[in-house]
Structure 1
Amino acid sequence: MRHILLILLVLAFGGVLRAQSPDEAWLEGTLVSKTDKTPLVNAFVVLRTADGADTPFSALTDEKGYFLLKATTGTYRLAATFVQQTIILRPSLELPAGRLQLGTLPVELTRELEAVVVEGKTPLVRYEGSTLIFGEAAFAKARGGSVLDGLKLIPGLQIEGANKLKLYGISELAVYIDGRPQRMSQDEVIALLQGMSVSEIAQVELIREPGVEYSGVTTPILNIKRKTQADEGVKGFTSLVGTYNQLFSEQLSTRVNLNYGRSRSYVSYTLGNKRYRETTTLSSGVVDDLRVDPRVSHQVGLGTDLTLGKGHSLGAQFLGNYADERLRFS
């Protein structure tokens, strides 16, 4: 009798599995650049409905451009997003049960350019080990904006709470400029990046696994490399950013660069007027209300760099910050 019950349970369980498996589908493929066949790393691949609506079936490509996603059977559009570009890979894709292999999918990346003289191919992004390197072309859509505007174009990079740089919303980032760590508060780092023009960027390195040369830093590092050949003379840059978190905040940054010969100097000033409100209703029904109204901050920066040779420079930086904050609890 016991053996008969066991057999019946196995047959019933197998029937459930057979009833569920026909709807299960797997889709895999590899995304590469159509021009130079380099893999598209950290591209966001998603299945959409026939009318273009997003579905929860998505995946990120790895360092080889490979993706594997699980979905249900049906007819979809296959799309990918890479460096703020959305590409339709398949306008109509019939996804059967089981595993569907698409192989290598060449992707044509387009950019709107003014009249230029092309001297060589400049990839938007390349992979060196576990480090992603974004070239100057990756920040073309932020032209005329700040370095902070350019960093927002990096896939997976997010600004949390208006002053925290995070990778995929999980890991906090350490910010380096030309290989030097910026030992300052998060507010000061954001103000510094907002005061720099994106035209100063030569490339940005996203170092996800820092080595021993970074003196025990375990969080991912964002290393911003500036152009070694800066235009001589005096150049100014100003930006104004507004945010809203139940209350309106604004931040004004201005910076003047003086480049002459092998020296590069700057003076900057940032005025921040930050207001926000956080309201929490506790389980007892009590409402906890915290309001910062306002937090006024003044930041003055002075810095200079002297190029000594290829890959070597001597620099100094002074940063002064004053803030006056009013908190109200109820």
Structure 2
Amino acid sequence: MRKIFLIAILLSSSIFATAQVADGYTIHGVVQDSLSQHKEPYATVRLFRKGEIKPLVVATTDASGKFTLHYAKPGTYILQTAIIGKLPTKKELVLDADKVVELGTILTQDAGKSLATAEVVAARPLVKSQIDRLVYSMSDDPDAQTNTMLEMLRKVPLVTVDGQDKITVNGKANFKVYVNGKPNKMMSDNPSVVLKSFPASVVKKVEVITDPGAKYDAEGTSGILNIVTATEATTSGYTVTPTLSWSNLGWGGNIFGMVQIGKLTLSAHGGVNGQNSLRSTTESERELFHDPVNHLLRTTSEFSNRGTYGFGGLDASYDISKHDLLSVSSSIYAGRQKGHGLSSTFLTGNAGTVYSYDNVNHRDSRYHGINTSVDYQHQFGKENQNLTVSYRFSSDLRNNKTLNVYDNLQSVPFVLKDRRIDPDNKSQEHTAQIDFTSPLGENHTLSVGAKYIYRLNRSDNEEYSRLAGTATDFLPDVAQSLLYRHRTDISAGYTEYIYRLKRFSLRSGLRFESSHIRVTYPNGTRVAFSTRLNDWVPSLNLGYNLTDTQLLRLGYNLRIGRPDIYYLSPYVNHLSPEKISYGNPNLESETAHNFQLNYSLFSQKFSVNFSATYSISYNGLTFYSFIKDGVEHSTSGNFLHSKQWSFDTYLNVNPWKSTAFTLNGNLKYSDLKSYRTSDHNYGFSGNFFAMLRQDLPWKLKFGLGVGANWNDISLQGQSSKFKYYFLNLSRSFLEEDRLTVTLNGFNIFNPQQTFNNTTQTAMFRSSTSSVLHGFSRISLGISWRFGKLRAVVKKTARSIENSDVKTGSTSQENGSNMGKSRGN
């Protein structure tokens, strides 16, 4: 009760403070269309110090086109207005002796060629709805200055982050991550790990592309998450921002810098993070319904791990001429995680205990990779007519050593072997692409392009074993070791047409993709094979601006999910004597038909976005389990029939200038069926996130957030419910708020969190209950920005985007080459 009383006092004092009229200057004006003479409601108005690009004050016009700005310091400034479909206006003004400045009427002109969108900056955060995506402006959200990208994604519409940091887009985990329009393997394979370390302060905006058009790869069935850190370059300067953070769960440091030298513009970032040892205890059991002798298998285990992770990136652009731009982007990443576990297993039946044993497990996982791309763009004399040629290379190498040693064997009826596993998994990809875009008259635009991808996955799994309970040397286990190669050549071509007429916009496209797959086994343990897949991929999107602040859009697309090496590798991983896992090299691509209806309204005090999505697939990729000879087998198949209805709501309310309330929620109904395994599961799942942000006296900023996730449905089971809450308090110091100090707390009164998961078929039931100890987190962050920059790195209008691979887990936390859904 005392805590609630203190928070109420803080909020009351803030509201009282914001009600006072601040000393300084007051600027009044009206924004009006130059031809129709209609007032412009909810136009964005920004005040800049002359010669700089960071806005000092941001506001919007009211329903009658009027605006009022307040600022304290005298000087020369630029006032800018921005309205969708209109050319921006700029007006210079001087604040000196007169405390009230009347600007009168500011006239706007029709831009004539902008795609229908609805945008407003009435209060931060900024959300924009376009015909194929939702855009969240990180640069306009003050919380982004002190939080990581993983924390900020909880506020992004159509994106969910659950209690185990699993990320889903549009209710699904099979999405792709891009950085500045380019696919990023580091983030796509490990989004939770990377984004937990990535500072949100260096991100300009996040695009949730739920309706990718024909120019995007057909792969990635739930969409694309595009993180944009840079756009157009303007003048010159530099800036560097180092950030340090510490918490009871780990430490971290990162740095971001930008500089322009003549026509060359550079942007770089890097970071390193450490995770303290986390301890988890797990109780699991497996019940065989029709086997009274080997009826119930129980395991209790304890596991702890620690790790370090580092990353870096460089973006550069060079203006060769007025019409030619060259841009280069590169990123690297590396990490290591070590873990230690102890477990005890008991099998009981109708006659009592059948057998028991203990197990000691050691894991050492290392990984590193690189992504590099080069883009050249030529702008023709005709406006918006351009040609882009791109090349991209990516490489990812992972080694996940595991040592399993058994002890205290009691009446074990089979031969147990200690195992030492040394798997190397490597993926390489080369991509070449060409794109051409040209307007056809005032309302039409045509884009065409072609693409080629060379993709090679390699899996070398060397296994060594010895008889359990002995101290002899480990010897190579040739029967268990496996060498596997999987090559895919993908050729694609597309055409896309866009039509705009006043409030109406249409985008239609058709893409053709041909994939040639070849699988070989260098050690000759299996027969090599190859296959070819051809796919026609249509897409259609319609958008209509009901008013200047309301957008209605309807979309359809066909998406493809190609299995990666963690779905495909046939290597058999002995997780325990009673459980094995392996991939399926005979998998084909999954296809999903997606239909979406979206409504967006953005006004000065109230913003909302509603989305309804229906997705259907008849050959979905899925992991499943079955019992054979008393052993649980886990593998993957191409036979999931799924129907999913998803409803998403985003709400932002700004009752006062210093107060903002955000709600982000999802409700999904899933109907999953497999005729091959006779499994059928259905039910509701959902999540919500709510946050109150309040500016307090003395330049303090306070945030309070709560959220929950429940009942994520899979073919054979469902995952745990989870609730969380957090608080943060920050203050900026020095001129232009260059130094920021932040204090964060996450579930601070709940140091333990339990996660339950169940799997059930007609033959067996399996359940786990894991308790994560030390779950509460208290962290302190310090960020300091120095230097002045009036430029950010230019990007070509088109670039390479590979979004086709459906990935399994790359962290291999259970020592398996079988994967989980991305984001675990």
Question: Per the shorter chain, which TM-score range?
Answer: 0.5 to 0.7
| Distance in 1 of aligned mates of 2:325 and 2:72 | 31
Confirm or deny: 8 A CA contact 2:158 2:208 kept in the other structure: no
| Distance in 2 of aligned mates of 1:222 and 1:119 | 30
Confirm or deny: 8 A CA contact 2:175 2:220 kept in the other structure: no
Report the CA distance between 1:214 and its aligned residue. 3.1
| Distance in 2 of aligned mates of 1:221 and 1:298 | 28
| Distance in 1 of aligned mates of 2:144 and 2:135 | 17
Q: Which has the higher strand share?
A: 2
Equivalenced residue count is 215
Question: One-letter code of the match for 1:253?
Answer: G
Residue 254 of structure 2 aligns to a residue whose secondary structure is: strand
2:241 maps to which of 218, 229, 235 = 235
Instruction: State the match for 2:192 in structure 1.
Output: 190
Residue 119 of structure 1 aligns to a residue whose secondary structure is: strand
Distance 1:289 1:320, change over 3 A: same
Is residue 2:211 matched to residue 1:206? Answer: no
Q: Which has the higher helix share?
A: 1
| Distance in 2 of aligned mates of 1:184 and 1:126 | 27
Distance 1:175 1:290, change over 3 A: farther
Is residue 2:284 matched to residue 1:301? Answer: no
| Distance in 2 of aligned mates of 1:317 and 1:205 | 20
Kindly provide the CA deviation profile for residues 278-316 of structure 1, in whole angstroms up to 9, marking residues without a partner as x: 33344456533343312x222222321112359862111
Confirm or deny: 8 A CA contact 2:160 2:167 kept in the other structure: yes
Q: Identify which of structures 1 and 2 has the higher relative contact order when contacts are C-alpha pairs closer than 8 Å and 6+ apart.
A: 2
Q: For structure 2, which runs of at least 5 residues remain unmatched after alignment?
A: 1-40, 44-62, 64-69, 83-119, 288-294, 345-824
Confirm or deny: 8 A CA contact 1:136 1:201 kept in the other structure: yes
Report the CA distance between 1:185 and its aligned residue. 6.6
| Distance in 1 of aligned mates of 2:209 and 2:315 | 24
Confirm or deny: 8 A CA contact 1:254 1:268 kept in the other structure: yes
Distance 1:240 1:167, change over 3 A: farther
Distance 1:313 1:238, change over 3 A: farther
Is the radius of gyration larger for structure 1 or structure 2? 2
Residue 215 of structure 2 aligns to a residue whose secondary structure is: helix
Question: One-letter code of the match for 1:125?
Answer: V
TM-score between both structures, scaled by the size of structure 2: 0.24
Distance 1:317 1:125, change over 3 A: same
Confirm or deny: 8 A CA contact 1:194 1:239 kept in the other structure: no
2:340 maps to which of 318, 326, 330 = 326
Question: One-letter code of the match for 2:282?
Answer: E
Distance 1:114 1:252, change over 3 A: farther
Report the CA distance between 1:319 and its aligned residue. 1.1
Residue 186 of structure 2 aligns to a residue whose secondary structure is: coil
Q: Cα RMSD over matched residues? A: 3.6
Is residue 2:229 matched to residue 1:226? Answer: yes
Deviating more after overlay: 269-278 vs 183-192: 183-192
Instruction: State the match for 1:119 in structure 2.
Output: 80
Question: One-letter code of the match for 1:167?
Answer: V
Distance 1:127 1:327, change over 3 A: same
Report the CA distance between 1:145 and its aligned residue. 1.5
Superposition pairs for residues 110-189 of structure 1, below 5 Å?
119-120=80-81, 122-123=120-121, 124-136=126-138, 139-160=141-162, 162-167=164-169, 169-184=171-186, 188-189=190-191
Kindly provide the CA deviation profile for residues 212-268 of structure 1, in whole angstroms up to 9, marking residues without a partner as x: 4333322321101113469723321234566xxxxxxx2433111232211112231
| Distance in 1 of aligned mates of 2:141 and 2:325 | 23
| Distance in 2 of aligned mates of 1:311 and 1:182 | 22
Report the CA distance between 1:153 and its aligned residue. 0.7
Confirm or deny: 8 A CA contact 2:299 2:343 kept in the other structure: yes
Question: One-letter code of the match for 1:177?
Answer: V
Superposition pairs for residues 1-330 of structure 1, below 5 Å?
36=42, 119-120=80-81, 122-123=120-121, 124-136=126-138, 139-160=141-162, 162-167=164-169, 169-184=171-186, 188-219=190-221, 220-228=223-231, 232-240=238-246, 250-261=249-260, 262-273=265-276, 274-283=278-287, 286-294=297-305, 296-309=306-319, 313-330=327-344
| Distance in 2 of aligned mates of 1:328 and 1:209 | 46
| Distance in 2 of aligned mates of 1:257 and 1:267 | 7
| Distance in 2 of aligned mates of 1:120 and 1:318 | 40
Distance 1:171 1:323, change over 3 A: closer
Distance 1:266 1:126, change over 3 A: closer
Q: For structure 1, which runs of at least 5 residues remain unmatched after alignment?
A: 1-34, 38-105, 107-112, 243-249
Residue 338 of structure 2 aligns to a residue whose secondary structure is: strand
Distance 1:317 1:299, change over 3 A: same
Distance 1:300 1:135, change over 3 A: closer
Confirm or deny: 8 A CA contact 1:145 1:239 kept in the other structure: no
Report the CA distance between 1:318 and its aligned residue. 1.6
Report the CA distance between 1:191 and its aligned residue. 3.6
Confirm or deny: 8 A CA contact 1:160 1:169 kept in the other structure: no
